[in-house]
Amino acid sequence: RRPRPGRQAIRTPATDAWLFRLSQLESTPSRADGIDKELERRLMVACVKYIGDCAQLLQIPQLTVGVAATFFQQFYMLESMVRHKPHEVAASCLFLACKVNETHRKLK
C-alpha cells in the first residue's frame, strides 16, 4: 500500500527484518537441509491450507487466518522443515494468531 500524499512510510529495523531478497528466498534453512524447492512449496501450500481448514472448523475470522499463515511462513524463513514438523508448526501458528488477535476459542 502506498503512503498518502504528504506522509512517508516509516521504515525501521523491525519492519525491514521481514523483507527478504530473492537470494534469501532461494536459500532457506529447509533447502540447506536437503528439501528441494518444489517439495518445500508443496508443504507450505498444504500447511497453509491446513491452517485454513482448522480455522473454518473453529469459525475463526479470516484476519486471524492471515496472521497465522504469515507466522508460518516467517517461521520457516528462519527454521528448517526437517527439524520442525510443518503440521505441528501450523497448528501452533494458528494458536498464536488467535492469541495475538484476541480470537477466543476453547482448546479441545
Q: What is the pLDDT along the chain (108 residues), one digit of tens a residue?
A: 555 555 555 556 665 677 778 888 888 899 999 999 999 999 999 999 999 999 999 999 999 999 999 999 999 999 999 999 999 999 999 999 999 999 887 766
For residue 104, how many other CB atoms are within 10 A of its CB? 7
Contact predicate 80/30, CB 8 Å: yes
Q: What's this model's pTM, rounded to 2 decimal places? A: 0.80
Contact predicate 69/91, CB 8 Å: no
Give the residue among 77, 94, 76 at the shortest CA–CA distance from 85. Answer: 76
